[in-house]
Amino acid sequence: MPLLVVILVAAIVLTYFHMTRKARLAWLAKLDLPGLWRWQQGNGQLLLSGRLQGGTFVLTERRDKDQDQGNWLGDASGTWSVQGHKLILTSKQATHILDLQLFSPGNIGLEGEAGERRIYVKETSNVVPLTRQ
């Protein structure tokens, strides 16, 4: 009887881990982060390359003198990853942890450590990348 209980508990734990992993992969697929994201209210862009869970990034901002850009990340490049609902950008200068919100497919919000918020819209393209899997 104790062996049956152990087997049942192990099956429940394995099912739980399988379901949470499946839900996470579905959420990452819905986010569809790799690609070019343009800042909706300003003149900046965020290029995310790699897979659904991480890769490399290039963040560029073309600052206008009249426009208040806030205390954002500036121009940076490095690696990115997703942990929970956080987008982690790691460059040679610093690591930035941003809250990631999905408003709709192709429309995300990022909130910085000091409370700055930006909305990015994914640039769509009809070009299909030919990469090997």
Amino acid at 117: R
How do the domains of the chain map onto residue ranges?
1-31, 33-122
Of the options 2.30.30, 2.40.128, 3.40.1350, 2.30.29, the CATH number for the domain spanning 33-122: 2.40.128
Inform me whether the pLDDT recorded for 44 exceeds 90.
Answer: no
Inform me whether the pLDDT recorded for 47 exceeds 70.
Answer: yes
Give the pLDDT score at 78.
Answer: 94
C-alpha Rg value of the chain to the nearest Å: 19
Query: Phi and psi dihedrals of 119, rounded to 5?
Result: -110, 130
Residue range 49-59, pLDDT digits in tens? 999 889 999 99
Give the pLDDT score at 33.
Answer: 92
